[in-house]
Structure 1
Amino acid sequence: MAIEKDARLLEVLRKRFKPLTPSLSLNLPPLLPFGHPLPLGGGEGRVRRWPAGSRAQGVIKVRGILSPPGGERVASRPGEGVSGTPALRLLHDDAFQFLQREPRDWSDWKLVANLPYSVASPILVELAQSNGCPERMVVTLQQEVAHRLVSEPGHKNYGLLTLLVQLRYEPRGWFKIPASCFFPAPEVGSACVTLIRREELLLNKEQTQVFTKIVKRAFSQRRKMMFKLLKEDWPEEKLKRAFGALKISPKERAEKSNLEQFVALSATLVSLHSK
């Protein structure tokens, strides 16, 4: 899809993104060979062209970005500039509210998004925790958020967002996007990240709810022992049994524990609760 905005912006994109092509082909898996692409982005502009034969079935435009003082301006009206693609729906909405308001099965979709930096994390978590999350997500977002998505235990960026997304997705490459690629240039760093949905669920629905509760509590106060924090939600005796069975030290801190340990702890606590 080509967005007509102004000549200067288009020229900047042509010049700046061309050098990134090798990085895209080397570090990121193929994006659109199968399934339905789900573009999601903010801004305004008129749809000039949709690729012939595309199977895309939806576009969500984020509301409120670049709206004029006098009120909202519809970025792309339904059907404008789109011919021969009856399945295509153009929506002008708040993406996060739309996902919460109209839950659906996205499991055979691919998300392609330039996410507004202020809502990138909530949107990714909302999709990752949905029953039918997209097969993959390729997103442009703030570089700091990208670091958190791909982080590992022991790193300063490792935390709640890392675990909530990685429970369902594996990070598969990322690259930094220079500020000069944007007009006007942002004051924060930007990056593009690819997330691939795991082939098998690590936890069932009940266990996933416990997992979410555990990681939220465990990261509620960084650098504090996880065991002491979890006692606010679980009986101490059950925690001792679970930690002992998994050989997790009661002095362990959440930022040092990996995804596998949190998964095992969630499953164990559910099992102990049912006995």
Structure 2
Amino acid sequence: MAYLGNPARTKEVINKYHLNAQKKFGQNFLIDDGVLEDIVSSAGITKDDTVLEIGPGIGTLTQYLAEAAGQVIAVEIDDKLLPVLEDTLSEYDNAQVLNADILEVDIKSLSEEKNNGKPFKVVANLPYYITTPIIMKLLEEGSPVESITVMVQKEVADRMQEKEGSKEYGALSIAVQYYADPEVVCVVPPSSFIPQPGVDSAVIKMTRYEQMPVVVEDEKFFFQVVKAAFSQRRKTLVNGLSNNKELGISKDMAGDALEKIGRTRTERGEKLSLKEFAQLSDILYGFTRKD
């Protein structure tokens, strides 16, 4: 069978089914076999694994995953691609396509139904327009996910792995690093896709922590603090936090909390590490719970 990583084979399938990449689904078909192999290799896929693939498209990456994994469950939102996938995956009895929106899928129930409740390894070439909601769903909901290896816009991948002190460091960096250890595997140029996107892409692997790097008093409150800290990047933390009415924090409370963690009252959010945000959140949580 000719792999779809071959550009000529991909074009053949696109022409056969009169396909046009759907902008509303962020479709770009990967045609670089080296990148496809890098994705599977970096994800550490073995025959013991069940892979949850998001957005298989015409089945390009799915073929490579099915070769390496014990089982692949591919979730595709575009029903027009179902007959294509039936064709391109016809030789793989270990690949199953689920026509659904991943944001509406109960991943825990899917794991119990298809994988004896064991964690999935998630692999995907993600649509750029919905990258963050998908990743945060996988991380936040306590879904049975061991690792997430995905192709995303390069600047988004950079933000996910940035540390404090960088201009790119922000709420997404902290959210991802709260749950997982992110590592950019490779950068992928536009020429690796049909049609070519207007920006570079990158493959990033997020390995879920077995033991969380920080523990906070109230997770919801912690993320509210982080969001408020970066919602007005040019403002100091004191102003950003006190301007957020949901938190109920005064300027004095914010300033006192910053001093308690060894920071000044003029500090901005990008200077604080994940650990410092956890400490700040716990102190502020205590302040807001006092009578």
TM-score range, shorter-chain basis?
0.7 to 0.9
Q: 2:209 aligns with which of 194, 198, 211?
A: 198
Q: 1:176 aligns with which of 187, 208, 229?
A: 187
Match of 1:55 among 27, 46, 70: 70
> 1:259 — aligned with what?
274
Contact in 1 for aligned 2:253/2:284 (Cα 8 Å): yes
- Once the two structures are superposed, the pairs formed by residues 86-235 of structure 1 within 5 Å of their partners are 89-96=96-103, 98-99=104-105, 102=106, 104=108, 108-132=119-143, 134-202=145-213, 207-231=218-242, 232=244, 233-235=247-249
Aligned-residue offset at 1:123:
0.6
Moved more, 32-41 or 177-186: 32-41
Instruction: Tell me whether 229-238 or 214-223 shows the greater mean CA deviation.
Output: 229-238
C-alpha displacement of 1:30:
2.6
Single out whichever of 108-117 and 204-213 deviates more from structure 2.
204-213
Q: What secondary structure sits across from 2:173 in the alignment?
A: helix
Q: Which residue of 2 aligns with 1:38?
A: 52
Q: So what's the TM-score if we normalise by structure 2?
A: 0.73
Greater Cα shift, 173-182 or 208-217: 173-182
User: Aligned partners of 1:15 and 1:130: how far apart in 2?
Assistant: 33
Taking the aligned partners of 1:119 and 1:14, their CA distance within structure 2 comes to: 18
Q: 1:14 to 1:230 in 2, by over 3 A?
A: closer
1:119 is displaced (CA, Å) by 0.8
- Please report how far the alpha carbon of residue 206 of structure 1 lies from its aligned counterpart in structure 2 after TM superposition: 5.5
Do the aligned partners of residues 184 and 202 (structure 1) sit closer, same or farther apart at CA in structure 2, a change above 3 Å counting? Answer: same
**Deviations 1:98-137, CA, capped at 9 Å, x for gaps:** 24xx252767111110101111111111212112352111
Report the Cα offset of residue 24 of structure 1. Answer: 8.2
Cα-to-partner distance string for 1:189-242 (whole Å, 9 max, x where unaligned): 111111111221245586221121011111111121011111132332543442
**TM-score (structure 1 length as normaliser):** 0.77
Shift of 1:269: 2.6
The 2-side partners of 1:91 and 1:138 are apart by: 19
Match of residue 26 from structure 2: none
> Where in structure 2 are there 5+ consecutive unaligned residues?
12-28, 112-117
**Count of residues in Structure 1 that have an aligned counterpart in Structure 2:** 261
The answer as to whether partners of 1:40 and 1:115 remain within 8 angstroms in 2 is: yes
CA deviation after TM superposition for structure 1 residue 22, in Å: 7.7
1:132-159 residue CA offsets vs partner (Å, 9 max, x unmatched): 3521111011111111111122222211
Distance in 2 of aligned mates of 1:3 and 1:193: 23
RMSD: 3.8
Q: Deviations over 1:3-35 (max 9, x none)?
A: 659861559x9994338868986xx46344754
Give the AA of the match of 2:8: R
Residue identity opposite 1:104 in structure 2: K
Question: Equivalent pairs: percent with the same residue?
Answer: 26
CA distance in 1: counterparts of 2:213 and 2:257, whole angstroms? 18
Determine the structure 2 residue equivalent to 1:270: 285
Equivalent-residue separation in structure 1 for 2:49 and 2:240 (angstroms)? 43
The residue aligned with 2:90 is 81
